[in-house]
């Protein structure tokens, strides 16, 4: 069996997606998600100019060898662009294997550890009241876990909150627009939000929050400590992921669980955090962290330290990545939770959907492989539109983390 060809499909049904399609000489093809929000074209070039020519002629059944060909075999390794490309190749190859063996992906990586996948929703209001109201609506829809992000008094606009009445989508057309930020306003506000949320929503619902890399270690420690009475499911990215020793300071001061890694791309981003038990959840998704092949290793290492998964699942991960994550989550023992931001309807004009939400959980059907298809004609109707994530400045203009 041989890979006969491969191509990259770029489309923008509401937002940009990059999809890799690998064809075989047996008629079966596989799909992988190669979307890197705001840097899509870099991955397209990496795939088209360097990976696809080398893929043609290889036996698609040898997933481990092909993975290492593009990782170990390449001198310039790691980094989000090359790892998004490797991830897409890996997902497409697992998709092919599942289709060839006529079985869903989860059966190839251990079978079912569970029938349903716990997910968390996003409540993102312009102020405390609106955020808690939105959370209530989501709980009424059946969600057992909700992430709270709120507008901050004194700040024009905040991460996680839509600018208008449209659903939240951080990438905007054209060059990056500028957000403004003030950590002390943020730190003064967030504990009160969660105090009120617990009072209104009760003790049972899981509450989460994303700091989005914006605190120094001691600021993050203060926040994690002040949030302790409200028993968060997790506090995400309390410090920038590149500052790993900073987590030690947060850990020393608080028992609030910590989730990190949506911007990570290999196990080497995690080895310190896992082995020193500085985190509780790994967030690196299958579409950025080397696909199924590499995430199996990360999850295995995490499991040794009783650390669970909680994959990134924002709208910039295509339905291919979401379905692949659901197979992964179905199979492994140390699954924790899955982020779930439903795609707009227009996305499913292009991508099929083999998963559905019911009463707080996502379910996936047993179609072979990953189980998602792409309608290329429809994809063509929505051509790529340059869009970027924002940049962030402090109120005095100083460049900051977004
Ligand atoms: O900012 O997906 O936890 N979720 C997040 C997301 C990310 C975007 C970046 O592309 O932090 O909202
Ligand atoms: Co995040």
* Mean pLDDT over the full length of the chain: 97
- Phi, psi for 108 (deg, rounded to 5): -85, -15
CA of 315 to the centre of ligand 1 (A): 8
Is the beta carbon of 40 within 6 A of some atom in ligand 1? no
- Average of per-residue pLDDT across 208-212: 98
Is the beta carbon of 262 within 6 A of some atom in ligand 1? yes
- Terminal Cα-to-Cα distance of the chain (whole angstroms): 46
For ligand 1, atom 6: residue with the closest CA: 314
Judged against a pLDDT cut of 90, whether residue 164 lies above it is answered with no
How far apart are alpha carbons 390 and 371 in whole angstroms?
33
**What is the distance, to the nearest Å, from the Cα of residue 75 to the centroid of all Cα atoms in its chain?**
27
Q: Which two tokens stand for residue 332?
A: 């492994």
Ligand 1: atom nearest CA of 314 is 2
Residue that has been written with the tokens 């390449």 in this structure: 74
In order of their start, the domains of the chain are 3-104 (3.30.390.10), 108-369 (3.20.20.120)
The model scores a pTM over 0.95: yes
- Is-contact 258 224, C-beta < 8 A? yes
DSSP 9: E
Per annotation, catalytic residue among 159, 355, 361, 382: 159
**DSSP strands (E only) in 202-325:** 206-210, 234-236, 258-260, 281-282, 308-311
- Is-contact 219 187, C-beta < 8 A? yes
How far apart are alpha carbons 337 and 340 in whole angstroms?
9
- Is-contact 267 291, C-beta < 8 A? no
CA of 270 to the centre of ligand 1 (A): 19
Alpha helices in 173-282 (DSSP H): 183-201, 217-227, 246-253, 271-275
Does residue 159 have an active-site annotation? yes
Q: Which two tokens stand for residue 380?
A: 């063509």
For ligand 1, atom 9: residue with the closest CA: 37
| H/E run at residue 301 | helix 291-304
pLDDT tens, position by position, 309-355:
999 999 999 999 999 999 999 999 999 999 999 999 999 999 999 99
- Is-contact 236 206, C-beta < 8 A? no
Judged against a pLDDT cut of 90, whether residue 386 lies above it is answered with yes
For ligand 1, atom 8: residue with the closest CA: 314
pLDDT tens, position by position, 132-141:
999 999 999 9
Per annotation, catalytic residue among 122, 212, 327, 343: 212
DSSP 215: B
Could you tell me the pLDDT band of residue 86, with boundaries at 50, 70 and 90?
A: very high
pLDDT of the residue at 172? 94
Is the beta carbon of 212 within 6 A of some atom in ligand 1? yes
- Average of per-residue pLDDT across 65-73: 98
Is the beta carbon of 314 within 6 A of some atom in ligand 1? yes
CA of 62 to the centre of ligand 2 (A): 33
- Average of per-residue pLDDT across 155-174: 90
Ligand 1: atom nearest CA of 236 is 3
- Is-contact 371 326, C-beta < 8 A? no
Among 51-65, 158-172, 355-369, the minimum mean pLDDT is found in 158-172
Ligand 1: atom nearest CA of 147 is 3
Does residue 122 have an active-site annotation? no
CA of 23 to the centre of ligand 1 (A): 31
């Amino acid at each position: 069996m041989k890979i006969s060809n491969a191509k990259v499909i770029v489309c923008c049904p509401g937002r940009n997606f990059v999809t890799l399609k690998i064809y075989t000489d047996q008629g079966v093809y596989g799909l992988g998600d190669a979307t890197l929000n705001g840097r899509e074209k870099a991955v397209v070039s990496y795939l088209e100019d360097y990976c696809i020519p080398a893929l043609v002629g290889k036996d698609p059944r040898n997933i481990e060898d092909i993975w290492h060909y593009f990782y170990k075999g390449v001198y310039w390794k790691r980094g989000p662009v090359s790892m998004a490309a490797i991830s897409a190749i890996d997902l497409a190859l697992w998709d092919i294997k599942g289709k060839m063996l006529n079985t869903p992906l989860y059966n190839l990586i251990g079978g079912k550890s569970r029938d349903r996948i716990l997910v968390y929703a996003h409540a993102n209001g312009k102020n405390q009241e609106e955020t808690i109201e939105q959370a209530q609506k989501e709980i009424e829809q059946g969600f057992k876990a909700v992430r709270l992000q709120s507008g901050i008094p004194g700040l024009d606009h905040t991460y996680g909150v839509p600018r208008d009445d449209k659903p939240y989508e951080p990438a905007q057309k054209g060059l990056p627009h500028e957000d403004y930020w003030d950590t002390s306003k943020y730190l003064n506000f967030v504990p009160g939000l969660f105090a009120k949320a617990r009072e209104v929503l009760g003790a049972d619902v899981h509450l989460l929050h994303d700091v989005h890399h914006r605190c120094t270690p001691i600021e993050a420690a203060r926040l994690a400590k002040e949030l302790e009475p409200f028993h968060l499911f997790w506090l995400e990215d309390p410090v920038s992921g590149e500052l790993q020793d900073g987590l030690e300071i947060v850990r020393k001061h608080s028992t609030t669980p910590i989730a990190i890694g949506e911007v990570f791309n290999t196990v080497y981003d995690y080895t310190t955090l896992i082995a020193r038990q500085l985190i509780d959840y790994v967030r690196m998704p299958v579409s950025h962290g080397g696909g199924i092949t590499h995430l199996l290793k990360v999850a295995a290492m995490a499991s040794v330290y009783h650390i669970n998964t909680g994959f990134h699942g924002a709208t910039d991960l295509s339905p291919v990545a979401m379905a692949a994550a659901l197979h992964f989550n179905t199979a492994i023992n140390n699954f924790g939770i899955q982020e779930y931001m439903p795609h707009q309807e227009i996305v499913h004009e292009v991508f099929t959907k083999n998963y559905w939400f019911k009463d707080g959980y996502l379910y996936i059907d047993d179609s072979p492989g990953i189980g998602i298809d792409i309608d290329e004609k429809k994809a063509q109707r929505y051509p790529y539109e340059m869009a970027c994530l924002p940049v962030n400045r402090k109120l005095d203009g100083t460049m900051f983390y977004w």
